[in-house]
Structure 1
């Protein structure tokens, strides 16, 4: 194992190599890039749900990009990747936000934990571990001299979308973010799984929540999110589900054109999971402890780019960012 300084030197070199391979458009729009390590915990779902901060300490890294030089403070989008890690999908959105005059911070929740991806084995990392990472990153970033602490949005994709969506729960913030006075200004979840029901999951913060999904998603089908959003709206919450007809999972990712079939990827699309006593997940139908060996868990999913949906969602996101973060474009 590398000593700590050696490890982070290797991480930094890897990031530099990645930057060298990125398209010129990303280079042109990022006036400054910083690799920022921060302390987090690798929590099991039971530890997270019971409010215990007793997991394994881990130092993870995030990549901060600023759109312009100078001294101004920028709005920021914190990005949580999906099962593929910090892949091209996240980098595409970095470019778009930088063009809007918005800084980005991509959290790599996998590398320091020894994970490449979780498509074939989601149990390698707790369902809500990235929520813990997001809270801890926010507490650090609001102190950055180039970031406006009142204009920080959380955005995630797939499993990162799940962590983003439920990061808005008042209960989770009270248990895991109470030490920090920082709050996200908005939450944006792309194709999250909504079939995990948590206690008090209709008690959200006042900040707006948006969910973007395709109607043909066979990885995290839209039905459960429709039900959850309807339940939240009945409580008067500022939550909206924006649907894209005929679009599948990762419909905004150019890398999945043509579509990519993952025959071994696990999906809980036919499961209903709920939180029981002592932070345990149970199968809602059988009331037995849930695991990825349950009969409801299946293999086989499809990742597919949809040009019409991708074009529209970027327009929809640009409007939402303008409304919530109010960025200033360069002269």
Structure 2
């Protein structure tokens, strides 16, 4: 009953985010626009996706005349066992329509040998924490948990740069969906409006380049240390010599993060 209640609560949140992120428009002229899509329409399309082992790219129309564009990397599911799910959030891409397809740099080699699903959504020009992207990320995870063979205790959000910031955000705000977060090259304040550090309820493995010129190491490390003092469980790893634009060089550190998941979280 608890799982069902969580699932329907999540659906309600997604529906609210859809309404928040889309304008209603003028419905007085019935011939002007087609009927608005609903979350039920989105769910029906998702449930019909033909997900095969390997890489597949999909697009699902959603309310507001928008679309979820995302890549799925699927494992062999013939053994019938439930697999982990990794949600990969790309860095700021200026609205690149193919940003979600950029998985060959660190995601694919970093997760090589792991029998897991990967969902890589396209965030468009919006930040990952904005309502329009919350509806996409939460919606995709919720539907994947419902329709694919995924272990709900092994759902991880990861990302680089802007995607790393998004990883912090979802780790903090959606602990009922995610079991861990892996932010890379990120900048996310853990200090609340009251000036006090915030505790994050799920464990994180935070990786940061020593010479990151966009997000200074000292600032990110301070936020990590303060959140740890508040009770968070965070492994902080410094990548020696790496600057902000060396995402592909994070592969060995991502592999270490997977080992951390297997030995310390799962």
In structure 2, what is the equivalent of residue 79 of structure 1? 88
Which of 183, 187, 206 lines up with 1:189 in the alignment? 183
Q: What is the CA RMSD across the aligned residues, in angstroms?
A: 3.3
Is the contact made by 1:75 and 1:325 (CA closer than 8 Å) also made in structure 2?
A: no
**CA distance change for structure 1 residues 193 and 57 in 2, over 3 Å: closer, same or farther?**
farther
TM-score by length of 2: 0.66
CA deviation profile, 1:136-166 (whole Å, cap 9, x unmatched): 2222211123222221100011001101112
What stretches of structure 2 of length at least 5 have no aligned partner?
1-33, 37-51, 94-98
Which residue of structure 2 aligns with residue 246 of structure 1?
241
Which residue, 161, 167, 171 being the options, matches 1:168?
171
Pair 1:317–1:59, CA change in 2 (3 A) = same
Q: For 1:209, which of 180, 195, 204 is the aligned residue?
A: 204
- Where do 5+ consecutive residues of structure 1 fail to align? 5-29, 42-55, 111-123, 254-305, 327-331
Relative distance call for 1:146 and 1:36 in structure 2 (3 A) is farther
Tell me: CA distance 1:31–1:149, structure 2 relative to 1, closer, same or farther (3 Å).
Answer: same
The reply to whether residue 31 of structure 1 matches residue 40 of structure 2 is no
For residues 69-107 of structure 1, the C-alpha deviation after alignment (integer angstroms, 9 at most, x for no partner) is 412221111100001333545554134425221221111
In structure 2, the partner of 1:230 is: 225
Matched, 1:128 2:136: no
Give the conservation status (yes or no) of the 8 Å contact 2:182–2:204: yes
Show the counterpart of 1:155: 158
Distance 1:223 1:105, change over 3 A: same
Matched, 1:221 2:213: no
Shift of 1:37: 4.5
Distance 1:38 1:207 in 2: 30
The normalised TM-score by structure 1 is: 0.54
1:148-191 CA-to-partner distances (Å, cap 9, x unmatched) read 2221100011001101112222xx44xxx9xxxx4201011011
Separation of aligned partners in 1, 2:155 and 2:238: 24
User: Are residues 189 and 91 of structure 1, via their aligned partners in 2, closer, same or farther at CA, if it must alter by over 3 Å?
Assistant: same
Mapped partners of 2:214, 2:191: distance in 1: 18
Runs of 4+ in 1 over 3 A off after TM superposition: 32-41, 87-92, 130-133, 195-205
Which runs of structure 2 are paired with 1:256-275 in the superposition (5 Å)? Answer: none
Query: In structure 2, the residue corresponding to 1:100 is in which secondary structure?
Result: coil
Which residue of the partner structure matches residue 66 of structure 1?
A: 74
Question: Which aligned pairs between 1:82-101 and structure 2 lie closer than 5 A?
Answer: 82-84=91-93, 85-86=99-100, 88=102, 92-101=106-115
- Cα deviation, 1:96-136, whole Å, max 9, x if unaligned, reads 425221221111122xxxxxxxxxxxxx4246234553222
1:168 match: secondary structure: helix
Secondary structure, aligned partner of 1:142: helix
Output the CA distance in 2 between the equivalents of 1:96 and 1:251.
14
